[in-house]
Structure 1
């Protein structure tokens, strides 16, 4: 499999002393890669650097073999991004919002807009104003905007954050459907470990700005742990012990 995401030694520190330290990982074609950590662990910082929205103090990001800093357009050509809140014009319909997003890509036509609305389950609500959408519907519209240009990689920051159980299930099912039918590779952050366990084949655990474990879900559990939650608690305990003896 091809490595389509390569992070090498990413480090970025903020004035408050928090940040990320020496983050290195690879994402393979076809992965649903779960980037898990508690709130404040540094997940969004990593993803903003990946998307070229922030600069690392040290380290490199390569997407499809292209450096995000020196060859931004080539690196992002096949990437869709949804970081933090899905933005939309509330006074416009869902369809109109999606058509505006599609205008940035000459190869995207109205048939693709129809297709994407169907994929994310908004076809029946396409003419309603976004201001009347639920949070889950707004997240689905954000997903639609991110995939309208047929990206090969989709970077999603907390896509189920703030949703009720039904909304989380809908987003999870859409992600798995897109991976299966559109052959999209996903890099997804979340602080909800149960969601990661249900949809991701590979997991990285970030804690205190450090990557403390990473690998295929099946290999990380390996009969030693009954769940990713148990694995997480074990790894955090080991990290705290190591810090106490440092």
Structure 2
């Protein structure tokens, strides 16, 4: 199966000595990879380096076989990104923001803006100025912008952030639909265990800047650990024990 993301030995240390340490993982075509961990574990740091928004001290990231630091345009050509807060022009409507973004992709049909607005549940609010949007609506707009060009890989940092239960369900359904029907590959981060368990086929648990467990969800969740929550609690206890005895 085609490899979409290759991360090798990724390390970045900040002045406070926090950061990420020797992260290595692979994502294959069609995967919904759940990058899971508590706030401050380093999830966003990894994703910013993947998207070329930050530089690592050591290690490499390849997207579609192209290294991000040396061949950025080729690496990012088929990638959509939503990291942290969705950015938009608040004095413009949601629709106008998407129409502006669509100009970057002249090959897109005119109907694509309508399609993504419908997908993320913003059709009824498309004429409102983004400045009047709630946090959840801005997050939906950010997702709409990320999927506008029909990317083959989507890097989404906390995609359900700020959404109510109905919104969270809808975004999950969009992700599963794109993975199933368009074979879109996803690299998602979240600290919400339930989201990860419902959406992802592969899981990476990040804790204290280290990838402490990684693999297929069906292999990680077995008779010993029937839920992701139980697996996470076990792995964190083991990691703390190892650190204390080091």
TM score, norm. by length of structure 2: 0.97
For the 8 Å contact 2:139–2:162, the answer to whether it is kept is no
Q: Give the whole-Å Cα distance in 2 for the aligned partners of 1:179 and 1:188.
A: 12
- 1:75-224 mapped onto 2 (5 Å cutoff): 75-224=75-224
Q: Deviations over 1:56-79 (max 9, x none)?
A: 000000000000001000000000
Q: Deviations over 1:137-177 (max 9, x none)?
A: 21111111011111000000011123222222222122112
Segments ≥4 residues shifted beyond 3 Å: none
For the 8 Å contact 2:5–2:28, the answer to whether it is kept is yes
Q: Deviations over 1:95-138 (max 9, x none)?
A: 10001111111212322112222222222222122222232221
For the 8 Å contact 1:102–1:109, the answer to whether it is kept is no
1:204 Cα deviation from its structure 2 partner: 0.1
Q: Give the whole-Å Cα distance in 2 for the aligned partners of 1:126 and 1:179.
A: 25
SS of the residue aligned with 2:111?
Answer: helix
SS of the residue aligned with 1:39?
Answer: coil
Q: Deviations over 1:175-194 (max 9, x none)?
A: 11222233211000001111
Q: Give the whole-Å Cα distance in 2 for the aligned partners of 1:183 and 1:141.
A: 22
1:243 aligned partner:
243
Q: Give the whole-Å Cα distance in 1 for the aligned partners of 2:162 and 2:141.
A: 15
Greater mean alpha carbon deviation, residues 94-103 or residues 120-129: 120-129
Q: Deviations over 1:70-89 (max 9, x none)?
A: 10000000000000001111
Gaps of 5+ in 2: none
1:232 aligned partner:
232
Gaps of 5+ in 1: none
For these two proteins, the number of residue pairs brought into alignment is: 246
1:70 aligns with 2:91: no
SS of the residue aligned with 2:5?
Answer: strand
Query: What is the aligned-residue RMSD (CA, Å)?
Result: 1.1
For the 8 Å contact 1:86–1:138, the answer to whether it is kept is yes
